[in-house]
Structure 1
Amino acid sequence: MATTTDGTTESRAEQAGDSTSLEWLARGGLIAYGVVHLLVGWLALQIAWGTSGGTSADTSGALGTLAQQPFGTVLLWVVAVGLLALALWQTSEAVWGHPDRDRRKRVRKQITSGAKAVVYAALAVSAALVALGSGSSSSQSQEQATTGVLAWPGGRVLVVAAGLVVIGVGIAGIVKGIRKSFTEEIDTSSMSPAVRSGVLRLGQVGYVAKGVAMGVVGGLLTYATVTFDRQTAQGLDGALQTILAQPFGRYLLTAVALGFAAFGLFAILQSRYRRM
């Protein structure tokens, strides 16, 4: 049955997100999401200064680092559950919509929520696999997936399109950081001026740095497909290594690493101030 009023849509969206337990789990998921980014930033910093010990600076490396801590398996399952709750919350917003009277803006937000749900679900699965002892390198997984898709009819076009989408996501993150549009997602009314300023700076730096890294990932994927060099189709770790190889790469990678750490802190702060 079609929805005829914005009020009905808003009511359904509010009901979908009105689970106190889901909200608390989702807020816990934001902390887990932030911790993963803090670890990626730390690993990237180690790569920049030659102390990484071969650990990849990507999601698999971050989760593997977490697994090595005391009670690491328990921590990984906590991360997996929290991220799954985040995925369910974003799915509910993607299905039932956002309370916005502008239809185009509402649809755009629904698509964004759907994409975030996929990302959170994938991270939850990765955490669960590492907890079960069957995780694999993100870069290796991406290279294998790319090779498989390239074998499909029209596979090269699909991979190039995927690379361009990733580049677009990176550019969107940079724009979001510069314009501070992420402030629409958090409630700053209860913050002191100092805290508000700090949160805004963390968000800006974090979104820009992550956007740059994602743009490089998309660029590598597209370049690998166009030049028939499948080994170049690496994930985040490969992108960070590419940044390191540039002039002044150590300092560029350090800036990106600190940006990931800033994004991680921002995500953790969102667990307190995020509108849900």
Structure 2
Amino acid sequence: MNKSANKTARAAAKSAEAASNSKGLETAARAGFGASGVLHVLVGAIALQLARGLNGEADLGGAVAQLAARPGGPFLLWACFGACAALALWQAGNAVFGTSGNHGRRLTARFGAAGQAVAFALLAATVLSFALGAGKNSRESTSDLTVTLMRAPFGPVILLLAGAGIIGAGIFFAVRGARASFRKDLFLPGAPAPRRTLLTAGVLGYLSKGFALLLVGLLVILATLRQQPEQSTGLDGSLKGLREQPFGPYLLAVLALGLVCYGCFLILKAKYARM
């Protein structure tokens, strides 16, 4: 009976691995990079508005809300959700089964894939909430979550660890951009112009994304230490806080352009990614 159960389990695992590597899922997963890229371009565009003194919610929630307000918004939201969910499934498959080649079988590669699976699953959940008409202001949601955690046992410790984790992710993005180590995840085009465009967008985008995450993590830690959870307002609050600093609008404009570059890089990655 044990042999039969083991055989069934192996067959199920092989079927799951085959499904996770199917061509259809790969195509949908590539679309997930493109959908995430479009949302990051919108976040960068909103941040540019903030730098000019205008209003807006410069985070993924605000970007999804803008997407929903466009013609064909419901269709765009469901398409974006499906693409991001497919990419989350693809990365989950890579985390469990590994990708092709020795590099993809390494433990670090699997951990990286697991992290991306979680990130794209959260993005898919955000898009789904707006598609179902239950989307909330991301700034208020982040602040409410901080309040809840701060009142819970060991809540402040959890928040400090979360802030440190976000800062760690920011450093990872910045180092990845500075070293252009993201190249190993791409099939670089042979023509010089597209190659330079892809690499430049990647370097600037990763550096900007890293700096933005550093700001968010720092804000979470400061809000926790000061016991002022209302100051933990996510990316939108971090960017608006940056705007109030000396030369803030100029720094915010540069960061906004970098986020647009990161979005463009993800859109290009939809074509050139090693899947």
The whole-number CA distance in structure 1 between the counterparts of 2:155 and 2:30 is 38
Asked if 1:256 is matched to 2:264, the reply is: no
Deviation at 1:201, TM superposition (A): 0.5
Q: Write the deviation string for residues 23-45 of structure 1: whole angstroms up to 9, x where unpaired.
A: 11011111100000000000000
C-alpha contact (below 8 Å) 2:103/2:109 kept by paired residues = no
C-alpha contact (below 8 Å) 2:216/2:238 kept by paired residues = yes
Deviation at 1:197, TM superposition (A): 1.1
Q: Write the deviation string for residues 1-49 of structure 1: whole angstroms up to 9, x where unpaired.
A: 9xxxxxxxxx999746420110110111111000000000000000110
Asked if 1:167 is matched to 2:167, the reply is: yes
Residue of structure 1 equivalent to 2:111: 111
The whole-number CA distance in structure 2 between the counterparts of 1:211 and 1:262 is 13
Asked if 1:193 is matched to 2:192, the reply is: yes
SS at match of 1:56: coil
Residue of structure 1 equivalent to 2:9: none
Distance 1:102 1:23, change over 3 A: closer
Alignment of 1:78-117 (within 5 A): 78-99=79-100, 101=102, 106-117=106-117
C-alpha contact (below 8 Å) 1:174/1:209 kept by paired residues = yes
Counterpart AA for 2:180: K
The whole-number CA distance in structure 1 between the counterparts of 2:19 and 2:106 is 16
Q: Paired residue for 2:37, among 21, 34, 38?
A: 34
The whole-number CA distance in structure 1 between the counterparts of 2:98 and 2:150 is 35
Residue of structure 2 equivalent to 1:228: 227
Residue of structure 2 equivalent to 1:246: 245
The whole-number CA distance in structure 2 between the counterparts of 1:100 and 1:165 is 29
Q: Which runs of 5+ in 2 are unaligned?
A: 4-13
Counterpart AA for 1:148: T
The whole-number CA distance in structure 2 between the counterparts of 1:241 and 1:51 is 11
Alignment of 1:1-276 (within 5 A): 15=18, 17-52=20-55, 55-99=56-100, 101=102, 106-188=106-188, 190-276=189-275
C-alpha contact (below 8 Å) 2:20/2:89 kept by paired residues = no
Deviation at 1:98, TM superposition (A): 3.8
The whole-number CA distance in structure 2 between the counterparts of 1:51 and 1:98 is 45
Which of 22-31 and 150-159 deviates more? 150-159
Return structure 1 stretches of 4+ with deviation > 3 angstroms: 11-17, 98-103
Comparing both structures, which one devotes a greater share of its residues to helix?
2
C-alpha contact (below 8 Å) 2:147/2:230 kept by paired residues = no
C-alpha contact (below 8 Å) 1:38/1:261 kept by paired residues = yes
> Once superposed, what is the RMSD of the aligned Cα atoms?
1.9
Which of 79-88 and 147-156 deviates more? 147-156
The whole-number CA distance in structure 2 between the counterparts of 1:51 and 1:156 is 34
Counterpart AA for 1:31: G
SS at match of 2:190: coil
Deviation at 1:72, TM superposition (A): 0.5
Q: Write the deviation string for residues 222-262 of structure 1: whole angstroms up to 9, x where unpaired.
A: 01001111111110001101111111111100001000100
Q: Which runs of 5+ in 1 are unaligned?
A: 2-10
Residue of structure 2 equivalent to 1:7: none
- Percent identical among aligned pairs is 40
TM-score (norm 1): 0.91
Deviation at 1:164, TM superposition (A): 0.3
The whole-number CA distance in structure 1 between the counterparts of 2:249 and 2:115 is 32
Counterpart AA for 1:67: A
C-alpha contact (below 8 Å) 1:44/1:57 kept by paired residues = yes
